[in-house]
Structure 1
Amino acid sequence: MSSYPGNDLDHIAKPNPDTAVHVDAGLSGPGSSPPAAAGPGQDPPGVTRLTKGLTLCIAYAANIGGISTLTGTPPNLVLKQNADEFYMRYQPADDKSGSPISFGNWMGLAVPLSAITLVLGWLLLVIIFVSGRGCCTLDKNQARAIKTTIKEEWKKLGPITLAQVILTVMFVFLAVLWVSRDPNESPGWAVWFKYNQTTSAGVEKKSFPSDSTSAMLVAISLFILPAKLPNICCFRKPERAGEPVYTPILVWEQVHRKLPWGVIILLGGGFALAKGVEESELSQWLADKLETLDYLDKWVLNLCLCLIVAAFTEVTSNTATASLLMPIMANLGRSLGYNPLYLMVSTALATSFAFMLPVATPPNAIVFSYGAIKVTDMAFSGFFMNLIAVGALTLAVNTWGVEIYDFDTFDEIFNKTLTS
């Protein structure tokens, strides 16, 4: 565990001989010999292993939790964009509604998958880094040290501010808008704002607000809502004499400096790459070559593709990988007579299951930079984590995923295109 000056976790990770706090991390038990003494400036073996497990769990949770929503990780956005474009290419001119993927039904697929994968990942880390006898035991000194540290860190947070309350409310409001825009069973609030749009070909089509409409509404409101109570009337106090009358939560100067423009450029470049692959007919050419795999059962082919993608994205950007693969998977599914979303959703999720190397995903790189784990530690546990995640993904898309997206049905619009 890192030892930055003033780190309150040091007295847990590095036992103080005066207090004789012993953290066995499950490596000792009844009838076993005590762990070997650590050298000067070194952690005991049990603490070192526990630290590695806790560090890896942060990376795993970040990668797995990101798949739960469409906005949680860039590959999900790449999937949504490419799926909409692919569906609209074959839909009639008066009904360019795009793919059936929405924020709400995506959570129906991905949240249970994320929960299952998280539990299995926790079990894996316990097996590798914590022995079975000690995973649920804690002596009094350990419990006291942990409780003290949590209280100290809680005090450092300070009282809840008005800006934090408003942001929490707006986040919940945004989530409700996303989920209720287009529910599966009934029309959502989007039907209240439908409008007719005339295309360049003179055809009228019905248009509805998208998920980006909700996001922009909340984002713009943050430039208006106050970070503090306005310094006027009854809110004016002597100690606030030098403060401005009104301070919004967001100002453009702050957004301009801190917004991760690189992520936006990466997404835009990925969309351009996907468009180039589609327009050059490279995706169709590759899909035709992969048709030789049609002798495999659908779920076996899907499993093989997910394993290949999960391995490939260990050394490449998952956003770029998703951008390259989405047009190929869409055309492959269409050529084989599958629902295109079946392969698209599976491979898009598989790009987020990269646990073996630091370069695979930003969370992996961040936790590796603290020096608590080695590449061999990450590769060993990550290999088994990849297998677990892909296995859970295969289960999801072949069970409750079928109920949500009707993966077993080849859409009529693609049938018409194939026979025309």
Structure 2
Amino acid sequence: MKILIIGTGYVGATTAMVFAEIGWQVTGLDIDAGKIERLKKGQLHFHEPGLEDLIAKHVQSGRLRFTTDKAAAIKEHDVIFLCVGTPSLPDGSADLRYVGQAAEDIGRLMKGYKLVVTKSTVPVGTQEQIKKWIEAAQQTAYPFDVASNPEFLREGKAVEDALHPDRIVIGTDSQRATEQLKKLYWSFSCPWIVTTPRTAELIKYASNSFLATKISYMNELARLCDELEVNVKEIAEGMGLDPRIGPSFLQAGLGYGGSCFPKDVSELVTTSRKHHVNLRILEGVTEVNRMQYAYLLDKVRSRLSGFAGKTVAVLGLAFKPDTDDIREAPALRIIDQLLLEQASVQLYDPIASLPGNAAYQAVKFCTSAEDALKGADAIILCTEWPEFAQLDWKKAKKLLKQPNLFDGRNMMDAKRLRALGYYYQGIGSGY
């Protein structure tokens, strides 16, 4: 079988790499000629550790190629994975325009049986809608199947997750599709779940929403810890040793961001409302996350007696380390509010960059953490990049106007920094 991947973003590029790595012939299709030209050279258009080397390896071997030719690509491939974006609309629902366009292209251009597999995160019931889009676009009624096969990739760990998945979920009502997908994933020994398309689609949303719930729960608990003079990191350690809870996603901080959790929680809440069901817990999760950055900013504002005329160093822009993804990053909300309150902002991130719009022209984007600290009245640490922990904080103190450090990720050694003369404040640090 030859595999076509429609969409060469984060999910598409990673999916293409995986199938090439296990021995299949793979083609990536995208309408963005710039992306395709870079990928043909083995170069990624985003940052993901280890992925570019594997892409380059399989481009060189000829097992992985890229094209902008829709007609030829759809005609020549047996299995087609949809890996296009599904961003949030203003009402919180998923925007399916790119999924719909891809489905219509398949229907219009197919010349024989196709297995269409949705890898993009899509609302419950989308598999049924894709069938309708393909049928409506067909000029000849060729047979096809549509299956759901959600991805479970962590940004910054995508290669590890893709090559060593903890489960494979297949949603289909076709035995032929099930057999083909099992053949595609022949080398994986992880647990399999073969279920209905709707169940597979909901598993993805339910998984991400539960992880987001753990994060918001700890963030809300951290506020209580501050009042009770208890360290939330110790609470998390004690909780995480319970195997029913586990240690993952118990780190209090500025909240979640990125391309998955915010939009997936919003879509699940929107879906529930359409079906007259209130998911009050998830509504609360969203609200806690939306305002978590403001909780830390209140502490900074109080310490500085306001932001007007003050210089604030922001360390970290990406929503998490090992990625350049700034979608829904808490750092952006912090920067926006600092600028609104007339602070001067000096920003450093080792990988990520600010959006190129006029709103951020007032931000000084620095080439090192040390440059960002020069003359600052306060530091707000927004991303837990390892290099921030490794910084010479004794020497860095001399660069500051005031040694105030607000740790939005609870990554620093509070006792050490206080011993060096810093005013240190984390989230839920208890003092």
TM-score (norm 1): 0.26
Larger strand share, 1 or 2: 2
Query: Comparing both chains, which one has the higher relative contact order based on Cα–Cα distances under 8 Å and sequence gaps of 6 or more?
Result: 1
Structure whose alpha-carbon radius of gyration is higher: 1
